[in-house]
Structure 1
């Protein structure tokens, strides 16, 4: 009887070779599950994963050098989102600060259901000295390390304290990464001594494995109930979430709305599910939504959610859907999300579910008067967009919405526009004219300042030859500009649009609306009374970007800005377009409420007035508790 063949490798060497042999497959298309590994090396991983990556070589596992652990995760998330979650990247860090710096990125990945594999070093499993450098000593739990901070923000977590334990841990990690329901951050904590320990691995561990990404079909009973609800509705509205993109269901959605006339609203993650100029596309919904979309939502008698989590921005903190007997039908691959708002459920893949609905609804169409109503509203909103985009004087300093208008004239249909935080997400959700499924890339599940620049790098890696734009304000830029160096090192021609408005403009406006009087939100010198109300700080962020290796184009007017954006798009170098904006708001106001609590008692008049407004708005909140059947 023959002995099964084995290969003697360290734990880290075995893991790298295992990862290189993992694939996903959907609709007959196969690609690597782990496309590359990001890393910053310290004593916790340099002799383990660092040595293993060097030995394996670029052909086996491509490697990218990062500057900040959090931003490496953001880059990996941008990569995975661009590839519809079918391929991911790994991130390795040392134990200690490097590992704990992963937490924010892990939370972002998990909240947005985007896969990333985290491989932090850990303290010694064998405890040769106690404590070792960067060891967290807990008086009652000796096996706790700083990596345990990753448990609540990971969809799967394991600490590999013995070589043979890597086999089940690695297989479970791949299962979760490839599962559209469970995916998010996956953490395998690797004690530094175990990484370097050799073991006789079965050859089968390194065989190619294909993780098939399922497209579950809707249950026939659930489908029939959903069809009855849609046929009975007079004013249905479909809310497209990120699941439409992840499933590549855009064509199926278009077929459904063209057959039925049902209008489509988009969440931040779902925008671009229909082209902006499709007659049924009403644009963004909720607090940052369009007037036509929110007006229709208030009077809709049936909401059809497709691949959405129904965040507070989408539902206007549960004040948006106001018809007394409004009902919900939720199509979602995750049962957890499908059951929200007491909905009738269709627990299935978005594309499979939309195709089944289109077939089952054959011959059904909404009333012509309803179609005419929302199409007229869409035309009125387009006039609002044009007004926000168009300056009265091209030689004037642009407002923020005019920056978007200038960019709108320059981008191609397949360009990718990335943003995550500040006032830009609201302006983009209301005003941006998405021309393709992947063009609008907003990270708004976690709305993490600092996401944009590293995410642009990940998108550029996933889509070589595509023009990628990271839109950031000065507050976001100062959070995390370090991956500019990585873009320069890798020769990635990402474009950065850096908007200087001297502070946290978004939170400043929010602070004012809730009686906070913009306290602590401006980047200005202190004055005699201790407040930050002096002159703007004398920082030069354009010079900073240049010092990190970017080409920088300064634009002072709308015309100069348009020319600068065109030059950036034509360049094969990482390029920053820097513009100071007119702080005058030309954005349309919020069309729906968002719940940010206001002090119940206060002496300052601004807070007293804000509380009165809050009490009036919150009274419209509803609990949607109708039975789903």
Structure 2
């Protein structure tokens, strides 16, 4: 057996460079690059290995610089989604705080079922220098370190205590990274001394290796049971989730609903499964959904979930599906999701394969004429609501809906909108008219404040790697922007072009609105000076923070839209100019946080204090108890 003498870091870098994902006729590198911030934990290990690779073969494992460890993982997730989970980026960080900073990103990746490879450094395996800088010490268990915190937020976790363990650990990690049913954050903890230790590496370990995406076919009994339930349904309804896009099943979904006439509502992750103007598409479903989707879902006797996790937002905290005899047909590659809501009709299979099989099995099945008329009527009514909400009003201060309308109007059909947190996800779910399967990227499984700019960079990296020149439009509120804006420097350093629309509403507007609904009157959500007499931030002047100047300091182009009746037209023009520019642009605009998007009839269960001295809270509690009466266990 031929071997090469290499360090663990060098072997891991070369191993990763030779891993390939194969999905039908598509073959691409599983990990085509590595993001990293170096410290004493990884500078001599993976840092040296990346430097050596760059000297001898720059394309072997390109290194991408980052400004924040959390943002590295966000970039990897954005990259993975735009590649439909076939590829992702690796992220390396140093011991202690560097590693801990990646925890939020790891949880985000796992919650979204998106692959991200995390390589946090760890303290000395030999403990020869104990404790080292940034090491934790627990008297009851000296082996616990920061990296152990990755266990509950990772789909795979292991630690390379000895160099020879690398072989089995790396292969096991790749299996999970490329498994559609298991993927998420994959974490390999690397002690700083082990990274730099040498071992004899078999050439077989370093040779190109292919990982084929599994597309399991539906079992005959499951397909037959699902087809029978749909055939006998009077008011079937489809919930399309992210699994539709990850399996490239959007064309299969379109063909199935055109044949059957069954209406479709999408989760946040499923945005793009059907184009907004398709006759069977009723928009988002659930807490942030449309009246059209929620009304049809409420009456549905058979709900067909395709690649959805059925989060509380998708189900309206289990208030959406009101038919007392509702049956769930759940199509999912992951058994965990296929069995949700106590269904006895799980189809544990690939979405595309199952939809194609169902189309054949139900070739003679279409919805009744009366149901078809209702679908068309509900869609027309909601489309009219959206048209009105997006239209300019000429007000001095724009609503968020008007801002969305202006950005949408200046965008191209294939552009990608990126968002994650605040009130924007709900408004986009209702109002953004998705025209391309990859055009809607709202991270709403973890809804991480600060994801937007870093995630947008990852999306753009992924598009460039695929030779796709479409624009990425990042929409972000001031609260989320302040959480993590440092990757604007990365956009400048690497000439990565994104368009950022920064909406200033002086605080956490989304939580402010939610605070009102639970009777807390926006407490602690405003960005104002602290009132020393009242010890709160309720009535002070607004802070003089200049976010446009902050963005400008990174070196990107900044356009400021002033208040005024021409703001909508100026915003549209600014987006168009930013799209035409070869470099990144940030557009700053103010909004009125008290102007809300149209209500879609959804509800979200956020408990209200059972007892309170505040009248507003008592009133909110009464309303909350009324809403809870609509909750159903959704069994069977």
TM-score class, shorter-chain normalisation, is over 0.9
Taking the aligned partners of 1:475 and 1:235, their CA distance within structure 2 comes to 42
Q: Which residue of 2 aligns with 1:593?
A: 603
Per-residue CA deviation, residues 206-242 of structure 1 (Å, 9 max, x unaligned), is 1100000011000000000000000100000000000
Taking the aligned partners of 1:559 and 1:432, their CA distance within structure 2 comes to 18
1:26 and 2:23 are equivalent in the alignment: yes
Taking the aligned partners of 1:315 and 1:199, their CA distance within structure 2 comes to 52
Q: Which residue of 2 aligns with 1:47?
A: 44
What secondary structure sits across from 1:475 in the alignment?
helix
Taking the aligned partners of 1:501 and 1:191, their CA distance within structure 2 comes to 44
Q: Which residue of 1 aligns with 2:556?
A: 550
1:204 and 2:204 are equivalent in the alignment: yes
Taking the aligned partners of 1:176 and 1:323, their CA distance within structure 2 comes to 38
Taking the aligned partners of 1:281 and 1:494, their CA distance within structure 2 comes to 29
Greater mean alpha carbon deviation, residues 530-539 or residues 262-271: 530-539
Q: Which residue of 1 aligns with 2:528?
A: 524
Q: Which residue of 2 aligns with 1:17?
A: 14
TM-score by length of 1: 0.98
Greater mean alpha carbon deviation, residues 589-598 or residues 485-494: 589-598
What secondary structure sits across from 2:540 in the alignment?
coil
Per-residue CA deviation, residues 429-454 of structure 1 (Å, 9 max, x unaligned), is 01110000010101000000000000
Taking the aligned partners of 1:530 and 1:191, their CA distance within structure 2 comes to 46
What secondary structure sits across from 2:200 in the alignment?
strand
Taking the aligned partners of 1:506 and 1:80, their CA distance within structure 2 comes to 28
After superposition, residues 379-528 of structure 1 pair within 5 angstroms as 379-393=380-394, 396-464=396-464, 465-527=469-531, 528=533
Taking the aligned partners of 1:586 and 1:18, their CA distance within structure 2 comes to 51
Shift of residue 377, structure 1, vs aligned partner: 0.8
Q: Which residue of 1 aligns with 2:377?
A: 376
Shift of residue 142, structure 1, vs aligned partner: 1.8
Shift of residue 581, structure 1, vs aligned partner: 1.3
Shift of residue 194, structure 1, vs aligned partner: 0.6
Taking the aligned partners of 2:399 and 2:504, their CA distance within structure 1 comes to 11
- Contact 2:290-2:599 at 8 Å conserved across structures: no
Q: Which residue of 1 aligns with 2:358?
A: 357
- Contact 2:291-2:599 at 8 Å conserved across structures: no
Q: Which residue of 2 aligns with 1:174?
A: 174
Per-residue CA deviation, residues 397-437 of structure 1 (Å, 9 max, x unaligned), is 32111010001111111100000000000100011100000
Shift of residue 137, structure 1, vs aligned partner: 1.1
Taking the aligned partners of 2:435 and 2:362, their CA distance within structure 1 comes to 28
What secondary structure sits across from 2:32 in the alignment?
strand
Shift of residue 590, structure 1, vs aligned partner: 4.4
1:285 and 2:285 are equivalent in the alignment: yes
Shift of residue 134, structure 1, vs aligned partner: 1.1
Q: Which residue of 1 aligns with 2:301?
A: 301
Q: Which residue of 2 aligns with 1:568?
A: 578
After superposition, residues 217-236 of structure 1 pair within 5 angstroms as 217-236=217-236
What secondary structure sits across from 1:315 in the alignment?
coil
Shift of residue 195, structure 1, vs aligned partner: 0.6
Q: Which residue of 2 aligns with 1:103?
A: 103
Greater mean alpha carbon deviation, residues 405-414 or residues 521-530: 521-530
- Contact 1:554-1:578 at 8 Å conserved across structures: yes
Taking the aligned partners of 1:147 and 1:368, their CA distance within structure 2 comes to 59
Shift of residue 584, structure 1, vs aligned partner: 3.8
Taking the aligned partners of 1:27 and 1:328, their CA distance within structure 2 comes to 30
1:162 and 2:167 are equivalent in the alignment: no
Taking the aligned partners of 1:204 and 1:621, their CA distance within structure 2 comes to 56
Taking the aligned partners of 2:518 and 2:396, their CA distance within structure 1 comes to 32
Shift of residue 530, structure 1, vs aligned partner: 2.3
Taking the aligned partners of 1:13 and 1:619, their CA distance within structure 2 comes to 60
Shift of residue 555, structure 1, vs aligned partner: 1.1
What secondary structure sits across from 1:151 in the alignment?
helix
- Contact 1:419-1:425 at 8 Å conserved across structures: yes
- Contact 2:163-2:199 at 8 Å conserved across structures: yes
After superposition, residues 577-588 of structure 1 pair within 5 angstroms as 577-588=587-598
Per-residue CA deviation, residues 70-129 of structure 1 (Å, 9 max, x unaligned), is 011000100000000000110000001000001000000001010011111110011112
Per-residue CA deviation, residues 322-358 of structure 1 (Å, 9 max, x unaligned), is 1111111000000000000122111000100100100
Q: Which residue of 2 aligns with 1:536?
A: 542
Greater mean alpha carbon deviation, residues 456-465 or residues 61-70: 456-465
Shift of residue 586, structure 1, vs aligned partner: 4.2
Taking the aligned partners of 1:431 and 1:473, their CA distance within structure 2 comes to 17
- Contact 1:388-1:586 at 8 Å conserved across structures: no
Per-residue CA deviation, residues 530-553 of structure 1 (Å, 9 max, x unaligned), is 221211111110000000111000
Q: Which residue of 2 aligns with 1:137?
A: 137
Taking the aligned partners of 1:398 and 1:565, their CA distance within structure 2 comes to 16
1:115 and 2:112 are equivalent in the alignment: no
Q: Which residue of 1 aligns with 2:5?
A: 8
Shift of residue 529, structure 1, vs aligned partner: 2.0
- Contact 1:396-1:558 at 8 Å conserved across structures: no
Q: Which residue of 2 aligns with 1:214?
A: 214
Per-residue CA deviation, residues 142-167 of structure 1 (Å, 9 max, x unaligned), is 22111101111011111101111000
Q: Which residue of 1 aligns with 2:313?
A: 313
For the aligned residue pairs, the C-alpha RMSD in angstroms reads: 0.9
Gaps of 5+ in 1: none
Taking the aligned partners of 1:534 and 1:396, their CA distance within structure 2 comes to 23
Taking the aligned partners of 1:570 and 1:33, their CA distance within structure 2 comes to 32
Taking the aligned partners of 2:593 and 2:304, their CA distance within structure 1 comes to 38
Per-residue CA deviation, residues 582-602 of structure 1 (Å, 9 max, x unaligned), is 334141124121100000000
What secondary structure sits across from 2:329 in the alignment?
strand
The count of corresponding residues between Structure 1 and Structure 2 is 622
Per-residue CA deviation, residues 36-80 of structure 1 (Å, 9 max, x unaligned), is 000000000000000000101121101100000001100010000
What secondary structure sits across from 2:550 in the alignment?
helix
Gaps of 5+ in 2: none
